[in-house]
Amino acid sequence: MSESLNVVVTGGNRGVGRAVAAEAARRGHRVTIVARRPAEGAAAARETGADFVPGDLSALRTTRAAAAGIAEAVPVIDVLVHNAALWPSRRVLNEDGFEQAFFTNHLAPFLLNHLLEERLRRVVQVSAGLYVMGRVDPDRTPTGDDFSPTKTYANTKLANLLTVPLFAEHWKEAGITIDAVHPGVLRTGLGERNGFQGLLLKTVKRTLKSPEAGAKPVVDLLTSEGTGRYYNGLKQRPLKPVARNTPLAERLWADAHKAINTP
């Protein structure tokens, strides 16, 4: 590697985010973990050789505070890795009235991109292959009126993915690049449940790839040249039609702008 990059990883305290932070640090990059639990985030930073910035991506107010903390700690962000995500089992509204997964999985990355864009060079969005099962209703999904314990995660990851080509176009003149990557179906705590369903899920997860295996395609993209692309693991793939709905993408972009500019 010819260059050591300043890499910021949201949700870097556990799962694939922690593995990405560790692998990026191992390759010689300067890594900063962002996590909402200070004790866990600081411990993960020590163990992976990273720095730590506390950041709660659950609401507009806290995401703006997280952006300010990131900007102070990392004046030049070579790569921002959006990894923080939720797979909720029940509908919860945040303090702004948004369904929590919709905010954390979609609006928080959107807001961070805009708040930090003057110091950004590249964005890597950790996506999910389940986006193909998503259906976004811009009048219902933001508030969880169409909430489903199984489908909301796919819906919110699709909403996020729909805006990736728009960010690529928006940033073209500035030279900022953005790509999305599905790291694989991994053995992490995402989507954990209680009861019989949770026990069944834990049994299935024993057969899945480790977070460390999923980190490689994410970290490989840190130094990749290109923009607006989608990767399934290590291979670039065309987006399925559900993620190439330009009118829907433009509606989500406009709605997100309206949301993040609400006083």
User: What would the 3-class secondary structure string for 63-115 be?
Assistant: HHHHHHHHHHHCCCECEEEECCCCCCCCCCECCCCCEHHHHHHHHHHHHHHHH
Are 117 and 176 in contact by the 8 Å Cβ rule? The answer is yes
In the DSSP assignment, the letter for residue 240 is: P
Which range scores top for mean pLDDT: 1-5, 110-114, 149-153?
A: 110-114
**Is the pLDDT assigned to residue 46 strictly greater than 80?**
yes
Average predicted confidence (pLDDT) for the chain:
91
Q: Look at 211 and 163; give whichever has higher pLDDT.
A: 163
**Is the pLDDT assigned to residue 228 strictly greater than 90?**
yes
How large is the average pLDDT for residues 203-229? 80
**Is the pLDDT assigned to residue 201 strictly greater than 50?**
no
**Is the pLDDT assigned to residue 207 strictly greater than 70?**
no
Are 160 and 107 in contact by the 8 Å Cβ rule? The answer is no
How large is the average pLDDT for residues 40-52? 97
**Is the pLDDT assigned to residue 208 strictly greater than 70?**
no
pTM of the model: 0.91
In the DSSP assignment, the letter for residue 3 is: -
How high is the pLDDT of residue 210?
77
How high is the pLDDT of residue 3?
84
Q: Look at 198 and 144; give whichever has higher pLDDT.
A: 144
Instruction: Report the candidate in 74, 85, 61 with the shortest Cα–Cα distance to residue 7.
Output: 74
> 């099962």: which residue's tokens?
133
Q: Which superfamily is assigned to 6-256 in CATH?
A: NAD(P)-binding Rossmann-like Domain (3.40.50.720)
Q: Look at 193 and 46; give whichever has higher pLDDT.
A: 46
Q: Using a pLDDT cut of 90, give the percent of the chain over it.
A: 85
Report d(CA 155, CA 240) in Å as an integer: 14
pLDDT, one tens digit per residue, over 54-63 is 999 999 999 9
Instruction: Report the candidate in 127, 112, 126 with the shortest Cα–Cα distance to residue 55.
Output: 112
How high is the pLDDT of residue 125?
97
| pLDDT band (50, 70, 90) for residue 212 | confident
How large is the average pLDDT for residues 96-122? 98
How large is the average pLDDT for residues 178-205? 58
